[in-house]
Amino acid sequence: MDSESELMISLISQLLSILGGGEDTHTPQLKSKLIALTCQLISLVNSLDLDSQPEPESKLKSLIKQIIYVSNSVSEPGPESQSVSVVTKMISIIGSIDFDLKESEPELMSLTSQIFALIMAMDEESELFSLLSEVASLVQTEEQKLINNQQVPPLTTEEEEKDDLIYGYTDDMNWESELMFYIISKMISTLRGEDMCQEVARDFIAYANQLIPLIESLDMDSNSEPKQEPKITSLVRQIISLSKVVSGPESQLVSLVTRIISITSSTDLDPTESQWRLTSVTYKISRILKEIKDSEDSEMASLINQIHDLVDAEEGRKPESRLISSITQLMSHINSWSFYSGMDPKIISLIIRIIYLVRSMDLDSQTKPKSELMSLVTQTIAVYNSMDLDSQPRPLRKVVSVFSQYGFDVNSTVSDSESDSSENYVSHIKDSLKLEPEPELISFIHRIGSLVISMNPNWEKLISFCPQFEVILSDDGKFQVEEGRLSKNQLSDDIPMKWNCLQVNWNLLKLHAGEKDFTHFRCRGCNGDNHKENEKAPLEVKHPLHPKHPLQLVLSQSSGGRTRECYCCDEDLLHIFYCCLACNFSMNVACTKKPAVLYRNHPRWHEHTLALFPRQASLTCNLCALADSSSPIYMCPPCDFVVHLRCTGLPRVIKISRHLHRISFTFSFDRGDLSCSVCRRKIDEDYGGYTCIKDGCSYAAHSKCATQKNVWDGIELEGEPEEVEEEVVDPFVTISDGVIQHFGHPQHHLRLDENTSRDYDEDKLCQACVMPIYFGNFYSCTQCNYILHEACANFSRKMHHPVHPHVLTLVNSDGAINVRKECAACPWMCTTGFFYECSKEDFQLHVQCANLSEPLVHESHMHPLFLTSKPGERRLCSACKESYFSVTRETFNCIECDFALCFRCATLPQKVRYKHDKHMLTLSYGEETSTMTYWCEVCERNLNPKERFYKCDEYCSITLHIECMLGVALYIRPGSSWICFNNKKILIKMKAKKVAYTGIEPVTFALLARRSNQLS
């Protein structure tokens, strides 16, 4: 395979890994990587000579040429032609003279996402889709070959890539440095040969053409500290800076590199002449590089030699160190794997890499005496080679036969009838580990794994956690001991304990978020019983903040991520912490190591020195007005001033999502009739809280309520100038009486329809809220089928909403196939119609959810409802009896009784029209005492009279399930499509009121079928 094809395979493979792995491509790191990889690939493909016919041509290049020819002939509208247009636009952007990657990033990101979505939407029978599928299949096959030949490592996680053999990964490398290192390594390897021929020159130029854009993308004005920049990038940067002031051979080298750029970009030279000139230039570069490299006084030579040393260090690593690295990566992967989750392909890939590493070693020529590891490896190979596979127990025979195909032949007559599918490999491995007596091969494998683990000096330094109790957070906010023994999450309950105690089954922990390395661990197999070599954390500690009782080490298994804050630092309690169950007192492990601070000065809050109150007590804090014993208390006895330690960090001026203006802290209020505008409870005027800074505005809030994570964004604004609000643009321009031009449909005018006697058409949907025109006025386009409710046409272009701290902008879906976006308040998706979105972060709200305000007066409840949910709280909706996941987790709550209403239920239309009934249907919220039997008009199934349903209040008495009336997915236009990631790539299409799935396999989409709808 030629170098261009090899590089293309690497780029395509990385793209497929990012786009097809369900990763969040909105993170800045993946965004940059995705765009740069796409640009590299397009540049490489764009440089292909479509008219040449090299002998032989790689299959990948052949397929790409076919794709280009087919793309040029696509004419019918559809995903195929759209994808061609998008790629053409990307080529135009990348190829422009003033191309700037940073400035073009948003547009390129959008185009890249569109390409992937459009490919997924293509007809699977189309020629273009077939060719693209063949490319993906070829890339996977060739990548595996390269892995097996140790030319390119398998794709691994960022953490594992530190020890990669080919790309020279180190702790400080980013993806650009990794690619740069790889290309430079290939260039050095190319020039090391004695003969300079056209083939060598072609390979060198191919790599140079890939390296130049990477170098051009370096920010030469960056002031990054050396520690923050990878060494390879730093060396390249220094060479570039030096090239501007060099003379002699160094200046000749710069001139030759410039000559390469000139030749490769020239359109006047024929291919033969161009190749001849490039060969000549490459030869001269090779000669000058050797001359510079041998120079003793040249600064350029020093830098070039350092790059050579980096490459040589990677290529010259001992086979033993490579083996240790690969086994360590394997152990790390197994750490996150379970026998019950099926075989992880990455584990298979690493095992194959280890097999090929061992195969490449000349074990007979190893120096004497051999290291303990190489001695064990030699013995293991000897045992393996001497095995009579037919005489081995069936599970072991099956495992060995699977991996023997990768180069280790054993005496075997395994029949085809014994062949197994991949899902059975896990059970064979598990059964092999349980064999009694233990096979010699299994024993050696365990010894090798244990030895590699022990070779890492960091493991010995880890402190072992051995908690004696497992606790769970109850509904009343107290930790309770779980009944039964402490759970030991073993790899498997019925395999020998020594396998469960390997490092792969350790839960590694850091006591501080900023720590670079792990400091503690808990063995999930034995809970520390078998790790005598490691220091153990104390099971009990005494702390001056809680002198009454000792604190016990406990393990929390609280469900749904629910936890409490540490008494000392007010941060969330970690997985393992110290606790006094009798007093409901808990501290993080790191905080128990800190001495109690007896005196503190906080002039911002009080003029005198504050003393620690020595006991856990319920004294009322002057700043938050809470008699709360969950934080240390400091006080000034002469002034009768009391403050929680956590309250000393309160901000003075903030902006919260529940109010339009800034609010500032006040030590007391001048009125006694105020209530908190967040929780709606009374405010005690003698204690601190927050008030609006605007004259005449009476907004007030408790200190704790105003600084909740779901209300305040954590930014202190004291001393910061106020932001100037943008002028809100009207959603439409009035053309004449009853005629408007709306921003969502600027190409045509819309006319107001006030006809109340029109026939109901369920297929006519408002383009904003994606709901039918049940009643009322609406605007319709004078030239097409575009319609808007009159109310929807008046939605504000900008708005503040109490569930989000930033301004939201009304946007109109462009109808393109999108990656799935969920509304932050309800379970439905923002894929079609209008929705509000934040320009600062990934946050969307349906127009229905966005236009709900508090107090909410709703037909389902007698009292007004408010957004009073606490951070992380998931209340059960009193209407649908469910608690679904959403970004905000907010519900409208009653402050007089225990009633909660979710956004999904709050936005259901109260009145609807059914095509087979001339009357309006009303949403019924259940009849507790009803004994009548109801039937759904659509599905003809029973209706539960105690649950919600739509019914006609007139004499016809039609009743319908909500799902049968509105469909299983609200606010999604029929015919729309979007991409869903659920480990596999799924294209989901709306057809009428049903959902159809196209992709690798059907899935049940729980968000679209909360009740008994089973979709396939």
**pLDDT 10s digits, 692-736:** 999 889 899 999 999 998 889 888 999 888 887 777 788 999 999
pLDDT band at 882 (very low <50, low <70, confident <90, very high): confident
Asked, for residue 313, whether it belongs to a domain, the answer is yes
Asked, for residue 900, whether it belongs to a domain, the answer is no
pLDDT (0 to 100) of residue 589: 92
Return left, alpha or beta for 150; rule: phi > 0 is left, psi -120 to 50 is alpha, else beta: left
State the Cα–Cα distance between residues 994 and 604, nearest whole angstrom: 60
State the Cα–Cα distance between residues 432 and 420, nearest whole angstrom: 15
Asked, for residue 40, whether it belongs to a domain, the answer is yes
Average confidence (pLDDT) over 753-776: 81
Domain endpoint, select from 103, 125, 155: 155
Cα torsion through 188, 192, 196, 198, rounded to 10 = -40
State the Cα–Cα distance between residues 867 and 51, nearest whole angstrom: 66
For residue 674, pLDDT beyond 80? yes
Alpha helix ranges (H) inside 58-126? 59-73, 79-95, 101-121
DSSP 227: G
Integer CA distances (angstroms), 366 to 87, 148, 370, 511, 641, in order? 54, 23, 7, 43, 76
Percent of the chain with pLDDT over 90: 13
Asked, for residue 801, whether it belongs to a domain, the answer is no
* Residue with more model confidence, 275 or 467: 467
Asked, for residue 868, whether it belongs to a domain, the answer is no
| Residues 619 and 632 reside in one and the same domain | yes
Mean pLDDT of the chain: 75
Q: What is the pLDDT of residues 808-856, one digit of tens each?
A: 999 887 554 455 577 888 888 777 788 898 888 888 898 999 999 889 9
Q: Identify whether the C-beta of residue 829 lies closer than 8 Å to the C-beta of residue 849.
A: no
| Residues 332 and 295 reside in one and the same domain | no
pLDDT (0 to 100) of residue 704: 92
For residue 54, pLDDT beyond 60? no
Asked, for residue 563, whether it belongs to a domain, the answer is yes
pLDDT band at 541 (very low <50, low <70, confident <90, very high): very high
Six token digits for residue 127: 């020629």
For residue 141, pLDDT beyond 50? yes
pLDDT (0 to 100) of residue 691: 94
For residue 667, pLDDT beyond 90? yes
Choose among 903, 949, 909: nearest CA to 926: 949
State the Cα–Cα distance between residues 813 and 917, nearest whole angstrom: 32
State the Cα–Cα distance between residues 234 and 177, nearest whole angstrom: 10
Asked, for residue 450, whether it belongs to a domain, the answer is yes
Q: Identify whether the C-beta of residue 81 lies closer than 8 Å to the C-beta of residue 74.
A: yes
Average confidence (pLDDT) over 442-470: 82
For residue 157, pLDDT beyond 70? no
| Residues 45 and 62 reside in one and the same domain | yes
pLDDT (0 to 100) of residue 705: 92
Does residue 496 have a cis peptide bond before it, meaning omega lies within 30 degrees of 0? no
| Residues 194 and 304 reside in one and the same domain | yes
Domain endpoint, select from 155, 172, 191: 155
| Residues 275 and 209 reside in one and the same domain | yes
Name the domain count of the chain.
6
| Residues 393 and 467 reside in one and the same domain | no
| Residues 356 and 418 reside in one and the same domain | yes
Q: What is the pLDDT of residues 346-380, one digit of tens each?
A: 676 677 667 767 776 766 665 556 788 888 888 88
State the Cα–Cα distance between residues 30 and 27, nearest whole angstrom: 6
Q: Identify whether the C-beta of residue 950 lies closer than 8 Å to the C-beta of residue 962.
A: yes
Cα torsion through 72, 73, 75, 77, rounded to 10 = -70
Lowest mean pLDDT among 58-62, 70-74, 177-181: 177-181
Does residue 439 have a cis peptide bond before it, meaning omega lies within 30 degrees of 0? no
For residue 316, pLDDT beyond 70? no
Tokens 């330094």, located at residue: 461
For residue 167, pLDDT beyond 50? no
Domain endpoint, select from 551, 571, 592: 592
* Residue with more model confidence, 439 or 971: 439
Asked, for residue 278, whether it belongs to a domain, the answer is yes
3-class state of residue 923 by DSSP: strand
| Residues 278 and 294 reside in one and the same domain | yes
DSSP 392: S
| Residues 338 and 396 reside in one and the same domain | yes
pLDDT band at 30 (very low <50, low <70, confident <90, very high): low
Q: Identify whether the C-beta of residue 41 lies closer than 8 Å to the C-beta of residue 123.
A: no
3-class state of residue 464 by DSSP: strand
Residue type, 155: L
| Residues 435 and 581 reside in one and the same domain | no
Six token digits for residue 875: 């209340």
Cβ contacts of 471-475, under 8 Å, gap ≥ 24: 471/554, 471/555, 471/556, 471/557, 471/558, 471/579, 471/581, 472/556, 472/557, 472/558, 472/559, 473/556, 473/558, 473/562, 473/563, 473/564
State the Cα–Cα distance between residues 365 and 908, nearest whole angstrom: 77
3-class state of residue 198 by DSSP: helix
Lowest mean pLDDT among 291-305, 342-356, 853-867, 901-915: 342-356
Q: What is the pLDDT of residues 91-134, one digit of tens each?
A: 666 655 455 555 666 677 767 766 766 676 666 667 777 777 77
Q: Is 268 exposed, middle or buried (0-12, 13-18, 19+ CB in 10 A)?
A: exposed
* Residue with more model confidence, 291 or 572: 572
Choose among 575, 535, 568, 570: nearest CA to 554: 575
- Dihedrals φ, ψ of 553, to 5°? -75, 125
Average confidence (pLDDT) over 314-333: 72
**What single string gives the DSSP state of each residue in 714-746?**
S---TTPPPPPPPPPPPSEEEEETTEEEETTST
Integer CA distances (angstroms), 972 to 216, 441, 797, 888, 909, in order? 45, 58, 21, 21, 15
pLDDT (0 to 100) of residue 142: 64
Six token digits for residue 620: 């009322």
State the Cα–Cα distance between residues 998 and 987, nearest whole angstrom: 5
Give Cβ neighbours of residue 756 (< 8 Å, ≥ 6 apart).
775
| Residues 125 and 218 reside in one and the same domain | no
How many CA atoms, within 13 angstroms, populate the side-chain half-sphere of residue 52?
12
Choose among 347, 362, 356, 342: nearest CA to 405: 356
State the Cα–Cα distance between residues 120 and 794, nearest whole angstrom: 36
Average confidence (pLDDT) over 387-404: 79
Q: Identify whether the C-beta of residue 587 lies closer than 8 Å to the C-beta of residue 568.
A: yes
The most confident of the ranges 123-127, 522-526, 556-560, 625-629 is 625-629
State the Cα–Cα distance between residues 384 and 388, nearest whole angstrom: 9
Q: Identify whether the C-beta of residue 811 lies closer than 8 Å to the C-beta of residue 837.
A: yes
State the Cα–Cα distance between residues 44 and 885, nearest whole angstrom: 44
| Residues 178 and 227 reside in one and the same domain | yes
Integer CA distances (angstroms), 317 to 163, 166, 314, in order? 11, 11, 6
Question: Which residues constitute the domain of residue 641?
Answer: 599-649
Partners of residue 732 on adjacent β-strands: 742
Q: Identify whether the C-beta of residue 151 lies closer than 8 Å to the C-beta of residue 182.
A: no
pLDDT (0 to 100) of residue 22: 43
Six token digits for residue 463: 């402190």
Average confidence (pLDDT) over 593-605: 89
pLDDT (0 to 100) of residue 448: 87
State the Cα–Cα distance between residues 977 and 815, nearest whole angstrom: 9
Does residue 393 have a cis peptide bond before it, meaning omega lies within 30 degrees of 0? no
Cβ contacts of 714-721, under 8 Å, gap ≥ 24: 715/654, 715/655, 716/651, 716/652, 716/653, 716/654, 717/651, 717/653, 717/654, 717/655, 717/662, 718/651, 718/652, 718/653, 720/653
pLDDT (0 to 100) of residue 1003: 28
3-class state of residue 701 by DSSP: strand
Q: Identify whether the C-beta of residue 147 lies closer than 8 Å to the C-beta of residue 1009.
A: no
Q: Identify whether the C-beta of residue 409 lies closer than 8 Å to the C-beta of residue 433.
A: no
**What single string gives the DSSP state of each residue in 866-878?**
E--PPTT--PPPT
